[in-house]
Amino acid sequence: MNVLVTGGCGFIGSNFVRSVLRQKSNCRLINLDKLTYAGNPENLRDIEDDSRYRFVKGDITDAALVEQIFTEEKIDTVVHFAAESHVDRSIAGPAEFIQTNIVGTFTLLEAARKSWLQDGTGLADKRFLHVSTDEVYGSLGATGYFTEETSYDPRSPYSASKASSDHLVQAYYHTYGLPVLITNCSNNYGPYHFPEKLIPLIINNALNDKQLPVYGDGKQVRDWLYVEDHCAAVLRVLEKGTLGQTYNIGGNNEKQNIEIVTTVCNLLDEKVGLRDSGEPRTSLIRYVTDRPGHDRRYAIDATKIKDELGWTPAVTFEEGIRKTVDWYLDNPDWVAGVLDGSYQDYYERMYGNR
């Protein structure tokens, strides 16, 4: 396989690249990443010298570059992670979300269409896997689950941009026969998660004796999925999924935000002791103004991927959150580097603007 991974320097993409290189000897991986604030080649420093791996700094909306990579590297597989991924940022400034998530996905689809339909090698060994989110389905009440049949009802600029990209991917399957697969997963957590998202933000703030912002009443529910479980599911869909199909991927771990914040506080108290003031870290919790259009509950019914492809999550929330907290405790330099941009400066010098 000659795989183009987009967004491989981000949270999930970097975990995916590492796990594929570990498991598959017969693949070449090209990682195309723009290195936005969320992308750090540092996440892959341990594998960057692997001869099966190549990093290309670039934008998925750059059609000429994407086409060049398809030709040069004889790409037969795309695993598309690159996106603007943070809901709060999409509320503050949606433009980048439209560009990267919609126009970027379109650019990749076009490159695949041109390359694969014209190169005469046929579509049999080609795959275009688009990684998306359960947020496209909107918000649930107290009961019910998102299935692959749930109607799309995105509420934030982020989820609307992802929904739009999902529709484009489906359209390329129906219109051009492009061999696509779509995955819609729930909230991931684990190592290399940028500390603007709930779990790493709370870990980092709690360690630094900063306030812990909980939006609204803190009773919103997310279905937490350990990132390594997600990566295993994506690989399973890539290898065994039926073309044109969507697979929902969930962690079977519904938790209210306030439970997450409290759990992280308690774990840190246990591992590094109470705050200097002698108070537990839960004393840092502050209820703050709610996010506009805040979705109340997400929960995935992952029956299809279990029944058809035999995938279920292996990591319980209790295990996953301990591993995650330990990783952040062991990697303070990573957190400092991604927050102050020093990794960006280092790689800018190394890779320049190519």
Which of the listed partners (ligand NAD, ligand TYD, none) does 222 bind, with a CB threshold of 5 to 8 Å by partner kind?
Answer: ligand TYD
Q: Which of 351, 113, 128 is nearest to 234 (CA)?
A: 128
Please list every residue from 273 through 302 that binds ligand TYD, using CB under 6 A: 291
Active-site annotation holds for 228 = no
Q: Give the orientation angle of helix 105-118 with respect to helix 157-176, to 10 degrees.
A: 10
Q: What's the CA gap between 214 and 206, in Å, rounded?
A: 13
**Can you tell me which of 100, 246, 253, 344 binds ligand NAD, judged by CB under 6 A?**
100
**Can you tell me which of 18, 127, 155, 162 binds ligand NAD, judged by CB under 6 A?**
162
Please list every residue from 256 through 275 that binds ligand TYD, using CB under 6 A: 257
Inter-CA distances, 61 with 26, 44, 239, 345, Å:
29, 23, 27, 23
- Asked if 206 contacts 335 with a C-beta cutoff of 8 angstroms, the reply is no
Regarding beta strands 246-249 and 127-133, do their DSSP bridges make them parallel or antiparallel, or are they unpaired? Answer: unpaired
Residue span binding ligand NAD (CB under 6 A) among the ranges 82-90, 112-120, 270-278, 295-303: 82-90
**Can you tell me which of 34, 155, 222, 281 binds ligand TYD, judged by CB under 6 A?**
222
Binding-site size for ligand NAD (CB under 6 A) equals: 31
Residue span binding ligand NAD (CB under 6 A) among the ranges 27-35, 143-151, 267-275, 341-349: 27-35
- Tokens linked to 258: 């306030």
Active-site annotation holds for 134 = yes
How many angstroms from the chain centroid is the CA of residue 241? 19
Which of the listed partners (ligand TYD, ligand NAD, none) does 157 bind, with a CB threshold of 5 to 8 Å by partner kind?
Answer: none
**Can you tell me which of 197, 230, 236, 297 binds ligand TYD, judged by CB under 6 A?**
197
- Asked if 123 contacts 76 with a C-beta cutoff of 8 angstroms, the reply is no
Neighbouring C-alpha atoms within 13 Å toward the C-beta of 331: 21
Binding residues for ligand NAD, rule: CB under 6 A, are 6-7, 9-13, 32-36, 38-39, 59-61, 81-85, 100, 104, 131, 133, 162, 185, 187-188, 194
